[in-house]
Structure 1
């Protein structure tokens, strides 16, 4: 759709007509297979899956047709005949779903029906994408390692206390004052040794073991096909590497240097996939998509009102405007291959968010040398 929006009128109409042809051909080929799926031998679950796919695809075509028609009409890039064809396609799809008895049909003035339509559309999307997701099961051995290390710390401290008790009995008479002093000191040091060791293990543990580890399970075969490990830390701004630091210069950075630095969060995820095992079960698979979701709820609660009324003088008169109050969140992403000589890709951008929404996303051009080889970096 982006190509059609930015194209000249003739090219935009060609994109719209191509969409019409492809959408109609796809729907016709899918629905031509209905008799085969409706045979009693196919089973109820297969028949239900076909109806869900038919309903889901019809909704997608209707939605995209209306969006394309509106977007091109706003830019006066759409011929009347093409506009009418897109509108007719959307109307036919709605009528088809109503004829088939599918529940996902919107209706003017019926708020309950429209609410159910949104919920149904969301459920259909989840159903359609469910086949694309691998299951993630927590890996329990990381917790066992942590408990083993803490037990080791307690054991080392207890060993010190036992050794001190043996030496006290050997050097001093039992229940004498020197014996009692040594026993008390040994127990004080035992507790301190235990805490020192626990603190040391806690400092090195994140480097050895991830904050969260999950096993990836192929839902088709139920077999283990990979593992993900995730780390989160909050380093000091001075520890941010050069490739992740702001590149802009000028007054903005001069001001930023005079105010307290922003908080920095570093998130790292390591993904290891058994590609050969996946290919044997999914011969048509050509890529895997990783979806990363960031929850901004805790930050949004502390944000000010999303809009501010501005008053200013322009050409001798007072003007008023409503301006967004945005908070920029800088993002620096580095994708690396772990194998020897693997490539890495650096992408940078900024999220401008308000308390209500994401106002815009600005992606910086890939810097020179943003894609490189010669070893992976964490």
Structure 2
């Protein structure tokens, strides 16, 4: 690809654009991770993380990816042969259940159509039928990055409680934390999984588990093998401001700055901004005469929008044209959606003009690809942005 003037538009659903002030924070000199300055950084950082998760309990920070944080959630709470209920909401829910099976867990996979979130009713039905209480955990992806569908976690918790079943609730918030309203404690979540590279506005490299008291109790008897992912030594070292191994110090600098940015804007305002950008994007898609993949108006993602292409049109060809002509990256369709959809990321460090430019680039790319659309889609989206 030839060199192009101007900035690259990174509009995939993560990694997201890293703000300049976060990049500057990351570039600071590394300090002694056994010294008092680092202990002060860790203590302040862990306290600042809790409101983002909506918890008063511990948040474990790993040098690793969201996939590693998936594994940590499983190995700290479960034992070989335990039965877990995973819900098929898309590509990443599928990968998480494959990991669980690979770790030696017995997986019930509740099927889904990739257009809807996890069904509270279906989960309750499975748990109610489990009279022997063999299901030890329910695993749900809050915001399915491959589909742009957000599951209704509070309703899932209520449905679980109504059955009286003691299963743990494990929730993946990798593409929702810091972008979509989320409340670990209030919603009765036992382990919340997250990563650094999306709503937290950092490069990849940090994974997170927010942990309930019930999950901590389960970790004391869990027998899946673990070492690096073990919560106990990290939580113990964190009490003194340290980690049991070399931490990703410079990413922690960046995290501290990103948390300051979220605090300064205010989490309610952050969520409202994402909601508004998502609404404008869906307005554009429908104005073009195309279809949003998410089929339930209660479950639209505020982090990304998945656009379903008309029959006979190749979504990857559209993405290729947009990258070559306008230097903009869009998310590909994953798994069984490959070639059928493209995904517009609108999360993290994003403002109205960036979204307007993104939607303009998508509209031009669709036209260049020969997709028949109504060009009024962009104008309709701008009307949403203008009407704040």
Q: TM-score normalized by structure 2?
A: 0.22
Rg larger for: 1
Larger RCO, structure (CA 8 Å, separation 6 or more): 2
Whose helix proportion is higher, 1 or 2? 1
